[in-house]
Amino acid sequence: MWMVLLYGVATFMETGVGVWMFGRMFPERKSSSEYRWAKMILLTLLILTTYTMHRAYGQEYIYEKFFFIVVYAGVMISDAILYKYRDFFRINKKTEKIILFSYISIMLTWQYWVSYVSFGIIAIANLYLPFFLLLFYKCDFIQAYLWEVLYLVNIGLAKILYIYIIGMIKHRRIENFLFSKSVHFYAGVVYLLIFYVLFLIIQKNFCVEKWLKDLLTDCKKMILFVALSECSILYFLLTMNWGYIENRELIISFGVISGIALILLFVLARFWAKSIYTEKNILEVRNNVIASQYEELNESYKKYRCLIHDERHMMDYIEECIGTGNFSEAQKIIKKSRNKFSERYYWTGITVLDNVISIEKRKMDNMNIEFHIETDVTDIVMEDIDIIILLENLFDNAIEAVEKCANKKEIKFSIKNINSMLVLKLWNSSCKKPKVKKERFVTDKHDSKGHGWGLESVKYIVKKYDGIIEFEYTEMFFQTVIMIEGE
């Protein structure tokens, strides 16, 4: 009994750690209605495998097949009714998630009790979990599948090492661990629990999810290659010897798994260092923007101190004109003073947007850049500091590109709320096609150190809010389109 409970705890931890890490890479869906098909498949798989496992390992009675058919039909009909009348029968999404996760964990515990390592289950990514992840997290099926295979195959390699060590000590065959439900040791569960704890420690210290999400998003082919390679190695280790385990097999497996661990640690360290370098540069960009804002604020403060000082003298002069009856001169001075306050400060009605646009508009005026703006926005979706940094970087890049043009100098800016989505477009004329290296725009300045990270900072902010960013460019223009879903 205790052995079964320990296996349940280990399975719960294995499944839970995998889902938890995936949840740190991909945020939860606000609504799963468009992925109801994934839920239908998941429920079908759970009920079908429950029936097949019961049939394989339990005594079957004639009525049980009809019982499972009725249960399946009842579950599907109930789900359809609840969806149709979801405004009246609202099920808490968190509760639904916990119920499905618990059911999956129970089924996987059953599977692991039968087979300590199952290559087939690894190849199909635990069968249930890709659909579970697709249902509750903002990802596609390929990302969910690749993550589960990669996660499970590395756990499988760790289990192989245990099989060879215990198999040699207890004088067992590999097949005893793969096809026999009678070979169970407390050491096997404790070993897995220690492994999962170490896995969590590595994740906490190296922030694996930060760069792993980028790999699952942009480098699916590479992840697929790594997963296939590790699966091939696992299959080789599983089929290397069907006799009793000896020192030779243990040495080979230990060497292979150690080599894989070293390679993974090297890759982990490399991406961790790259992540630190990227964050350092993005932070530098953010600091530069904040410093620029401070300088602009300081200049505005000086400017308005001068205006207040000048206004005091002007009021004295107007008072003198009125006192002497020279009203035409007073009127003339008042008209001239209005020109000092003719600069436009109201663009959207949102203070932070108006301030940034006004700052950038002054830069454009100094360079004789034609500026067009369209606004229909009531909610900027993002935090103030993020919208400031995003717009400052976009405008600075646009102004820098337009400044190099000899003829047409033009920038067009549009920001609108369409339903609950913020849609932002910035278009600028250009005289040169931008350089792109490894999906990153690079500067053509001679002093390139510290430059070229503006758009990377913009991408970082858009990704933070699970938005979409698109670039369109030729030798004549450059356009950035950003779409971010609101709450």
What is each CA distance from 273 to 280, 290, 399, in whole angstroms?
Answer: 10, 26, 33
DSSP-assigned beta bridge partners for residue 153? none
Query: What is residue 133's predicted lDDT score, i.e. its pLDDT?
Result: 93
What's the farthest any 2 CA atoms get from each other in the chain?
118
pLDDT digits (tens, 9 = 90+) for 203-260: 777 667 777 777 788 778 888 888 888 888 888 877 776 666 666 666 676 677 667 7
CATH pick for 344-485 out of 1.10.3720.10, 3.40.50.720, 3.30.565.10, 3.30.70.580: 3.30.565.10
pLDDT band for 286, please (50, 70, 90 cuts). low
Q: d(Cα 127, Cα 135) in Å, to the nearest integer?
A: 14
Distance between CA 123 and CA 175 in Å, rounded?
18
Question: Residue ranges of the domains in the chain?
Answer: 2-245, 344-485
At 438 the pLDDT is: 64
Q: Is this model's pTM higher than 0.75 or not?
A: no
How far apart are alpha carbons 429 and 192 in whole angstroms? 59
Helix (H) or strand (E) holding 2: helix 2-25
Under the banding of pLDDT at 50, 70 and 90, the label for residue 448 is very low
Q: Is the pLDDT of residue 412 over 90?
A: yes
Closest residue by Cα to residue 103 from 63, 48, 59, 25: 48
Mean pLDDT (the chain) is 78
Residue 416: in which H helix or E strand, if any?
strand 410-418
Q: Place 360 in a pLDDT band, splitting at 50, 70 and 90.
A: confident
Predicted confidence (pLDDT) at residue 481 exceeds the cutoff of 90: yes
For the packed helices 208-218 and 247-323, what is the interaxial angle rounded to 10 degrees? Answer: 90
| pLDDT higher than threshold 90 for residue 154 | no
82 pLDDT band (50/70/90 cuts)? confident
In degrees and rounded to multiples of 5, residue 442 shows phi and psi of: -115, 150
The pair of structure tokens assigned to 238 is 């599983």
Q: What is the DSSP string of 413-436?
A: EEEEEETTEEEEEEEEE-SSPPEE
Secondary structure letter of residue 433 according to DSSP:
P
- Give the residue with greater pLDDT, 364 vs 84: 364
CA dist 356 and 67 (Å) reads 66
Q: Is 201 left (phi over 0), alpha (psi -120 to 50) or beta?
A: alpha
